[in-house]
Structure 1
């Protein structure tokens, strides 16, 4: 059975080239959200994110929002291009949220009268619409000295369990509010460390402690030397039979990834970078799963529940 996102969700565009230019998935409407993850290389002076009305370069397409971090000035300039003319720059802001060599996530939320921009989970700025016909805004363009990991769109449905967790330490252990239920999604985004041997993502029945080890309903374990993904379950302190998946290994050193785990009545289904990878039949009742754990040779950039 194939893996598909829920209504209002689209799979990410992973490791796109820069300059990047692409259609905005679905129409730009109130509550539309754009998630952009990347890293600023050392020595970068500026980059920009544009929300545009098309791709034309001659004459140049209107730009509804030009979001332009400038490192020397330590300012983020916002502006719009309408009928070949730039408007008045906005560059106010109490802090500069970008740093060389650091990963970032920019979230752009479209509201009826403005865009709201958050960086690394913190509200950064609001930008009043200068192009009010939102349906004209159909193109995302990113250029400059920046490396992109992923671009993702959402219809803006409310997140379960209080929203995403940004840049948590690894190993990470966190509760799953309401436990696992059919249709529940877990998203783990990150970057594989250089020289990685393995990492794992566990869906557990409680955190690790001094007592007996909790049951693990899903142990998802990429192993780089063997280029194999091992999945298993731990019940009453005993591992079951390993299931190995070696036909396709979607992880690379220094590469960005997004693992999506979907709970269904009969199995967990796992996708990586938008492609269905495997399914794992339930060995432990899914409703007892209340904890997510991530450990090993990865940097986690975001965890979220849907």
Structure 2
């Protein structure tokens, strides 16, 4: 797949999703970054902002399988991964696959499940496989988990531990629509739900082909040093108790390579790093004052970090 084809494929997906979702340009771009880079996304916002609608629109744009799990406190790991059951008809055990065996998995309100159930996603998200009763089964390609959670409600929830959060490439905050977007939403959904008639525009093979190309995007030594400087600065900040790990820096590199590719470039520039820093690193740092920490405080720390790190210039070899 050539660069032009990748751009055209991404544009088709984005245009299709926008038939249902009003606004959220940046959020759609970030979802595409996650899909192409084989990452996963945590959508965090208050109820009613369109998290589930966005996930379903992306899934329907892809001619693959889509499954949704409503996470609740009584959800068991086997409800996600599947079970072996005894078939009296055949006289042997058979495997009944769970919803994890899909291309796009919507984990709705993931923080309502117990830590034991949450952890059942760890292996599948990291290694693209599931081990059940000692048998390891490989998941389909592509495999994308889009999880949602409400940042305000705490009763009956189990906060995701750092190990679980680290499995998500991106954490995205959608926000409320503008007044004009709110009016457009009312008009668009006044008579029918456009999601019902949405058709797929790309194949599973298209996405897999894109996933095999992004690693070829170039990043010069100067820009690579800039990326590492940003990561290291998070470890030195006075308000940060736990900075970004080496896995976090690898996630940032992967994300900026895909983002550059989707912008029509075969090389990374510093602006790509600035664009991806908050969604990739925001959930990977732990502030010194953890109680009552708000997303705005994390964003403020990362804004300071970006402001403190010198940006390489074009003369320094961005295009090298």
TM-score (norm 1): 0.27
Q: Which has the higher helix share?
A: 2
Q: Which has the higher strand share?
A: 1
TM-score (norm 2): 0.26
